[in-house]
Structure 1
């Protein structure tokens, strides 16, 4: 048994050494065409620099030392740090198409319908179609103004809730969770016509499922998986992270499909159609190739705060 463990450990060590050698050679070969870069460690590159908090101060110190454009290696991924207005503007004007794509992380595969949502999709015909739908049918001034009564009502309910806490005397209130609930309620009333937080919840069981899904989604927000930068970690953990986000993606899809199906059953109810899902389903009738259920669910997905900022 001890001999077997020794050979497994030796094989793993040799594998890591080969990766380190490959990384060193590829970095050395490419350095001539890349912006200046701090000294990197084998395999992990510059990830060790991110242990200092807050991160923006770390980036500021690096920019002060190495210049306004720096190349960093986060594991297997190349990152270019820009801290000057002029090259930053050039990136989003002259080179906006080149830099339009987002990194293909595991979260995008399992939570964003295999990188096909507006936030995750690569630049191309599909992305342009989603952008057109978003600009005209969801985020246009006309569509946003149709929901002004929802925003006013939710703000009014928040103010009433705050005033009740201070009827007798001054009260201490933590505003952060209240603002989070306000944001979710506004978004989900616009999307599906339902409240999931505070008083007047539409369906307590459904609201509980939504809150659990959003809580888990928030915990995975941003670049939360080290295996996206060091793929070997996905192998070492036995696929635990992949299984977790796969299950979350399935639960989220079932929840969103339930909202879509419910709107389909109520399509003759004018009130139910005064939602984002209802409006998109009305367009599905005349343009089914553009407004499939999956595209509608993806548009709903990027309208919820934790996924939008991921």
Structure 2
């Protein structure tokens, strides 16, 4: 018994030594951190900042939707605010004038992206357009994307794809809706619309709906995309506290690796199928039909540069950036219209007046229906699909708003806060599409797609998809809320700020459009 007590004493003694050693290491880290912080601040004019903690900096303050947390902090510390996420300095911008300075005077300096762990696994070592460092690779991918997808000619070329998918959405909603109102769930239908449009453009395939060729492949795709959105909407502390990478904190890196394998397998299969289709086809006589076709044509001339990994990285980026952003905006817009039936009726009256009831609304009607665009803009103002713009990182020291910003700082533009600032917008929390009738260009106070050379290149395509879907739903159907309560506008979790609850609505085919709808 005495021997056991002695061993227990030794064990307790060892535990005490371990505990003391841990405290010693933590204290040493804290002292080094504070010393570096003091040296960094000395002689520099940095923006106001909340009190921080050793090691973690201000990470403990991010305990809710980050765009809301940052807006609340900015209301205390100003529209240019310095934070520190672990070892990484962060600048939060909530001012149109500072946004303008960033993307005019400092546009080239701020053209880099932070090097985050997700970029290694999901963007193939940052070779995708969205995450690539500013330089030759980024310029080449931007040129290809513009030429093959987002130029005026290519947008026109793919107009038929967008209109066909919108017609299929209308056809799907029509089932059983001619007689009376029925409850319909909208989120899955809207997501199917945007994914099918992008997949058609990328690989001439449909993933959602009854006309899917390979249901097993479609299920794999949906599961992969869902997981990527979940991971993308989760901050990784190891990106800011480097020692956490050594232990793979919360298993985040393992999850990214597993997800990379799944997405790599899916995109590889897409490319292989496109390659097989090209065998025997005369690819020199006609314009590339899909984005993958265009990339494979470039690969044939420069296989060392246009590798399969480069193609996969940019295919995955298009699938992520070109789908969820549009679908959440359509869902927010329909929710707002259901809560404001007067706006819905005004929009429908405009469509009836300028398009009539003898045909479906088309993209070519956009110039004749500016009020629909006002609704789209007002939705993007209140609920920007990316509330915090994709982070920027200065390649050298610079000044913004009179403050010194060090190279390597993560620069976050809080578009959500700017869009709801009462000093910038009149009655900012109200849904008033008419506010966009007055000014053609809202400048740096309206930035749903970013600004400068790293702004979203697909804004034109996204706008066409959102506009056409919204106008078609308004023209073809009558809409009412389910019950007396207003549609909830709570925000869910995720990078693209979806609605917390999927939208459900009462829907009925319009009698005036019945003969057109029957033809579908």
Instruction: Return the structure number with greater helix share.
Output: 1
- After superposition, the Cα gap between the structure-2 partners of 1:270 and 1:187, relative to the gap in structure 1 and judged at 3 Å, is farther
Q: Match for residue 29 of structure 1?
A: 39
Please list the CA deviations of residues 26-45 of structure 1 after superposition, one character each: whole Å capped at 9, or x if unmatched: 22222242222111111221
The answer to whether the 8 A contact 1:191-1:275 is kept is yes
Residue in structure 2 matched with residue 38 of structure 1 by the alignment: 50
User: Residues 232 and 274 from structure 1, CA distance in 2 versus in 1: closer, same or farther, beyond 3 angstroms?
Assistant: same
Does 1 or 2 have the higher relative contact order (CA < 8 Å, sep 6+)?
2
Secondary structure of the 2:232 match is coil
> Which segment drifts farther, 284-293 or 30-39?
284-293
Pairwise CA RMSD: 2.5
Contact 1:301 1:307 in 2 (8 A): no
Match for 1:296 among 311, 323, 330? 311
Q: Distance between the aligned counterparts of 2:322 and 2:290, measured in 1? A: 20
1:17 aligns with 2:27: yes
Q: Secondary structure at the match of 1:73?
A: strand
Partners of 1:181 and 1:199 lie apart in 2 by 11
Cα distance in 1 between the residues matched to 2:299 and 2:245: 39
Q: Residue 146 of structure 1 corresponds to which residue in structure 2?
A: 157
Are the structure 2 counterparts of residues 66 and 207 from structure 1 closer, same or farther at C-alpha, using a change threshold of 3 Å?
Answer: same
2:293 aligned with 1:278? yes
Distance in 2 of aligned mates of 1:222 and 1:101:
21
Correspondence for 2:404: none
Distance 2:305 2:210 in 1: 37
* Contact 2:50–2:83, Cα closer than 8 Å, also in 1: yes
> Deviation of residue 155 (structure 1)?
0.8
**Alpha-carbon shift at residue 214 of structure 1 (Å):** 0.7
Aligned to 2:174: 163
Partner secondary structure for residue 122 of structure 1 = coil
Match of 1:132 among 143, 146, 159: 143
Q: Label 1:4 to 1:109 Cα distance change in 2 as closer, same or farther (>3 A).
A: farther
The separation in 1 between residues aligned to 2:53 and 2:263, in whole angstroms, is: 38
- How far, CA to CA, are the matches of 1:215 and 1:10 in structure 2? 44
CA distance in 1, matches of 2:113, 2:40: 22
Aligned to 2:253: 242
CA deviation after TM superposition for structure 1 residue 307, in Å:
8.5
**Alpha carbons of structure 1 residues 105 and 6: separation in structure 2 relative to 1, 3 Å:** farther
Deviations 1:158-194 (A, max 9, x none): 1111121534532222322321221111111110111
Alignment of 1:1-310 (within 5 A): 4-32=14-42, 33=44, 34-51=46-63, 53-164=64-175, 166-237=177-248, 240-267=251-278, 268-269=280-281, 274-305=289-320
1:141 CA displacement: 1.9
> What residue ranges of structure 2 are gaps of 5+ in the alignment?
1-10, 324-385, 387-494, 496-520
Distance 1:27 1:185 in 2: 50
* TM-score normalised according to structure 2 size: 0.55
Consecutive unaligned residues in structure 1, runs of 5 or more:
none
Q: Distance in 1 between matches of 2:76 and 2:250?
A: 39
2:331 alignment partner in structure 1: none
Larger Rg: 2
* Aligned equivalents of 1:121, 1:198: Cα separation in 2: 34
| C-alpha spacing 1:164/1:27, structure 2 compared with 1 (3 Å) | same
Query: What is the SS of the residue equivalent to 1:303?
Result: helix
Q: 1:80 to 1:266 in 2, by over 3 A?
A: same
Report the Cα offset of residue 236 of structure 1. Answer: 4.4
Structure-1 separation of matches of 2:308 and 2:218: 22
